[in-house]
Amino acid sequence: MICISGKASRSFRPIIGVVAKSHRPIWARENTIFVTEQLDKLSIGYKACISSGRKGYFFHPDHIYDCKDIEIIHDGDIVRIDANGCVSVLWEIRSHQNAFMLTEACNCKCIMCPQPTRRHSPQLLQEAQHTLTLLKNQDIKQICITGGEPSLLGDNFIDFLHRCVNEHPTANIDILTNGKNFSNREFTRNVAQVATNNVCFCVSLHSDIDKLHDNIVGANDSFFKNISRSI
């Protein structure tokens, strides 16, 4: 995830919106974050603003100012701004390598994993849902769903996949999963009911030797849960 930083105009809750680098009509600013070198009297009505210049005035929306490297943010990107001055790019409109991280929770502890297992934060799923809403009617060619282990979210995972399939029916959807939860027949049946031919399940299988695979993923019986749907 691309992140740049600046200073927050005041304390505020995280704000997610679509980037605009030129002024939009006043009626089209509700979900828009305006990015500019310097805020002016026209920079009102936006959900938030990002500026590389000095702090704006009291009538300006919540904003990040003195923000460096704003040129790496493009029109149509979806970003989150936080009161600590951080600007995080949640979706790069020019990239085909975007991913929705639904959770940091996982039922494996792979020895090579760069993403340490953490307790599930509902904020990640909420941000993914919000981002998906902002992408409605966009021509999205590729979607990746990842974690942690996204299937741990159960019905919430299925509902999110259903939205992706319905709202972007021509997009290729890759799901990065360790596959263990698909040993549950009912869960697998429910996933199959919403998945289409555009959905690809990228399942991690590190060895055809059960003990070796289990040692790599740091969880006993993982190998047999992986392959149980194939037997």
> How much is the pLDDT for 1?
79
**Which stretches does DSSP call E strand in the chain?**
3-5, 7-8, 15-20, 32-36, 48-51, 63-65, 78-81, 86-91, 99-101, 142-146, 172-177, 199-203
Alpha helices by DSSP H, the chain: 122-134, 155-167, 185-194, 210-217, 222-227
Residue 4 tokens, joined:
């740049």
The residues, ordered by sequence, that sit 6+ positions from 61 with a Cβ below 8 Å of its Cβ are: 43, 44, 45, 46, 47, 48, 49
* Amino acid making up residue 32: T
Give the range among 106-110, 163-167, 224-228 with minimum mean pLDDT.
224-228
> How much is the pLDDT for 226?
84
Would the pTM of this model clear 0.85, i.e. be above it? Answer: yes
pLDDT beyond 90 at 116: no
Q: If you average pLDDT over residues 41-58, what whole number do you get?
A: 95
- Structural domains of the chain, ranges and CATH numbers in brackets: 3-91 (3.50.30.10), 99-230 (3.20.20.70)
